[in-house]
Amino acid sequence: MTREGMLFFTRSYKSRFLDYAVNFRLYNRPDTPYILLDTLGMQVLSMPDVQYFFKDINPRAMMIHARSILDLLMDEKNPIQDDDLCDSIRDFEFNRDVV
């Protein structure tokens, strides 16, 4: 994005923060089918980052899910407590039936 694009960016503060201040990181080991996805940057707002450990799921779908969870955290002022679980995804949509 150009300097002018950033100066005249019309999206909300939340969208700008998630787009520019939060990193989505993927880790995988060549000898395993598992992928770790985590975020880094929410601590600036005194909110938790999220972590996912998965296999056989499109990493892009997991990043979209993580972004949705971060949206929820910001909108609802961090309603998720330690050891809470979130709905999973199927076909890029939230799904309570997936375990």
Per-residue pLDDT reduced to its tens digit, 5-21: 666 666 677 777 888 88
Model pTM?
0.74
CB 55 within 8 A of CB 35: yes
For residue 27, give the nearest of 50, 52, 47 by alpha carbon: 52
β-pair partners for 81? none
Lowest average pLDDT, out of 1-5, 36-40, 66-70, goes to 1-5
State yes or no: pLDDT of 99 exceeds 50: no
State yes or no: pLDDT of 96 exceeds 90: no
